Amino acid sequence: MEQLITVTPLLLIASAILTQVLSVKLGRRVAWLSVSAISIGFALTLVILGLEVAGLGGQHVSTSHAWGVLLTDPLSAIMSTLIAGISLIVHLYSVRYMAEEPGYARFFVLLDLMTASLLVMVAAGDLITLLIAWHAIGVLLYFLLGHDTRRQSTFRYAFWTFITYRIGDLALIVAAAILFHAYGTWSLTEIFAAIQSRPDATTFMGMPVAEATAVFLALAAFARSAQFLLHNWLPYTMDGPTPVSALMHAGIVNAGGFLVNRFAPVFVHASDVLHWLFVVGLITAVIGSVLMLTQNDIKKSLGYSTMGQMGFMIMECGVGAFSLAIYHLIAHGLFKGTLFLGAGGVINEARRDDGVPKDDLYTFVVERRPARRRPPWLMMAVITLVVPALVLVLAHWLVSQDVFQKQGAIVLLFFGWVTGAQLIFATYRMRSERSGQLLTLVLSSFTVVVVGYTLISHVFELFLYPDPGFRELIHQASNINVVWFDILIIFTTIVIVLGWLLTYYSEQNGKRARRRSGRVWLSFYALISREFYLADLYAWFTRMLLRTAECLNIWLRWA
């Protein structure tokens, strides 16, 4: 284990050097040197994960007394496996995809260095090593996104990403400085032990160190994971190579969720910061999902989809579901990476044939004949509200009977409830002739997904945080006043129930109301199609800065 944790990133660094040195001699074949290195690296991460599952991890490898510490724990093991696995797929995809692009060898050099930096980041056992890897990822991403130097837009959007990442870098540097000033060590394990023993003993400018540090850690996570107001770089990086988009959306942009989990011993003593994580994540999830629906570019639509998913991941951290955020991170990474790598094929197929394959499922779901008699709207409204709630409650009760004593779990149940209701309502609107069979198929799929999601997330929680006392601290830190929480739950339940009843009634009898609200929806669509004018605002601010700099430069010449 001590050798494996250091060999994996060193192997990729060596591969980058050899790829550059041998690029002239081997030509296009040099890519397979990089592929071989990441294949071995992925195998090594699987071994590390297996040893960690067997309980043989938890060791440190130090190259000096102050920094260079690599930590093997459940979080670093599972994240290393994810990063290496996705990077292997991206390497294999890039062998042919990038064959006609200039800088072929340079691309694989950057890809190897990026993977090595990601592996060092998730395994960093001290603040200095974490800061170096964190900063290197931003720099390497800038060069990867700007790989095609012939396009001005590529350079501009890569620079947007670089500047936004610097905000996160500064926040993380400030957090590291606060921790070092308070505890006199760079070691993460020593810092976490000190915080656990005396969380309020040392203060920074009148604030507890844990809360002050958590604020800057949250800002670093917001910048890296494209939370609202720091998100514009994400959808506009689609001009970069498709393999880079896949790696970025499947791994790099998830760094915010990893950072919160790595510093979980800090966040358990910063309840107010967790509440802000929930609010920011919720706003980002809603806005990202809405903006995704108005895009006519498949890669930009996927970019806003990633923004929404990152918001949901940060929101999960805010309600104390840290391990669930890691599971979400992994599931989204694999799913979104596949979508990006397949985006080119979808575009190519659409150019040749804009039709949809007429298979049995398509015929059953889409090419349906309108039903002669639709199910009563009130009965369907009751099914929509009751069935998803029963499935979610039973699934979580089977896993953990005390789940309903945790506020965070109840909040997540509400989101699952609304999602299930939306699924059943979409089935109702299809007006299929076989509505009973279609509803059964939808409910069966929903049940399988909920049960699987619940079981796997519970396993992740036991693996990442085996100490039941610490798990309880996480859930307590995300709690709010019980009276206010009960009021919010009752109010939200009433709103959801009345909202779905009104939705079904409007679907059945509200055609005139829909015509009157058409203008309102048109105005709202114009707003979101311009992405809330945030890009225009940032462009105006950029022009103002350039004009100010120009005037200042002229004034200084005369002065």
Q: How far apart are CA 493 and CA 418, in angstroms?
A: 10
Q: What's the pLDDT at 280?
A: 94
Residue 14 CB coordination number (10 Å): 14
Q: Give yes or no: residues 381 and 498 share one domain.
A: yes
Integer Cα distance of 127 and 148 in angstroms: 34
* 457 and 529 belong to one structural domain: no
By C-alpha distance, which of 79, 247, 231, 308 is closest to 537? 231
In a domain, 478, yes or no: yes
Q: How far apart are CA 57 and CA 397, in angstroms?
A: 32
| Burial class of residue 302, CB neighbours in 10 A (0-12, 13-18, 19+) | buried
Domain that holds residue 444: 374-509
Q: How many domains does the chain have?
A: 2
| 60 DSSP β-pair partners | 71
Asked if residue 458 and residue 388 are part of one domain, the reply reads yes
Cα dihedral across residues 22, 26, 28, 31: positive or negative = negative
485 and 399 in a common domain: yes
Phi, psi of 54, deg, nearest 5: -75, -5
| Cβ atoms within 10 Å of 63's Cβ, excluding its own | 11
Domain end among 509, 530, 551: 509
Residue 294 carries which side chain, given as an amino acid letter?
A: T
Q: What is the pLDDT of residues 190-217, one digit of tens each?
A: 999 999 888 776 776 778 889 999 999 9
Chosen domain end from 468, 488, 509:
509
What is the separation of C-alpha 74 from the centre of its chain, rounded to a whole number of angstroms?
19
Residue type, 77: A
Distance, CA of 324 to CA of 473 (rounded, Å) = 16
Q: CA 33 to CA 91: how far, in whole Å?
A: 10
Assess contact for 254 and 310: CB atoms under 8 A. Answer: yes
One domain, residues 525 and 543: yes
pLDDT at 154 (0 to 100): 75
Diameter of the chain by CA atoms? 84
- Do 98 and 240 form a contact (C-beta atoms < 8 A)? no
Residue 442 and residue 555 in one domain: no
Instruction: Dihedral sign for Cα 70, 132, 248, 262, please.
Output: positive
* 381 and 397 housed in the same domain: yes
In a 10 Å sphere around its CB, with 0-12 CB exposed, 13-18 middle and 19+ buried, how is residue 489 labelled? middle
Q: Is residue 192 part of a domain?
A: no
Taking the C-alpha atoms of residue 187 and residue 129, their distance in angstroms, rounded to an integer, is 10
DSSP H helical segments within 319-356, as ranges? 322-352
Q: Do both 391 and 486 map to the same domain?
A: yes
- What is the distance between the alpha carbons of residues 309 and 315, in angstroms, rounded to a whole number? 10
Residue 230 domain flag: no
Query: Using CA atoms, how far apart are residues 172 and 193, in angstroms rounded to an integer?
Result: 20
Backbone angles phi, psi at 223, to 5 degrees: -65, -40
Q: Are both 417 and 440 inside the same structural domain?
A: yes
Whole-number Å distance between alpha carbons of 141 and 233: 12
**One domain for residues 380 and 503:** yes
Q: Does the reported pTM lie above 0.75?
A: yes
- Residue 414 forms part of a structural domain: yes
Say what percent of the chain tops pLDDT 90. Answer: 29
**Could you tell me the two tokens for 469?**
């006392």
Q: Give the integer Cα–Cα distance in Å for 75 and 356.
A: 42
Tell me the three state secondary structure of residue 201: coil
Structure confidence at residue 378 (pLDDT)? 78
Q: Which two tokens stand for residue 29?
A: 């074949």
Instruction: Report, as ranges of residue numbers, the positions in the chain whose pLDDT lies below 50.
Output: 369-370
The count of other CB atoms within 10 Å of the CB of residue 38 is 26
**What pLDDT is recorded for position 483?**
86
Q: What is d(CA 210, CA 206) in angstroms, rounded to the nearest whole number?
A: 12
pLDDT at 231: 85
What is the helix (H) or strand (E) element at residue 76, kind and residue range? helix 74-97
Which of 488, 509, 530 delimits the end of a domain? 509
Q: How far apart are CA 33 and CA 15, in angstroms?
A: 7
| Bridge pairing between strands 60-62 and 69-71 | antiparallel
A 10 A CB-CB count for 445 gives 11
Residues 480 and 549 in one domain: no
Q: Which two tokens stand for residue 525?
A: 């669509």
Neighbouring residues of 256: CB distance < 8 A, sequence distance ≥ 6: 220, 221, 222, 224, 225, 227, 310, 313, 314
Asked if residue 436 and residue 417 are part of one domain, the reply reads yes
For residue 185, being part of any structural domain is answered with no
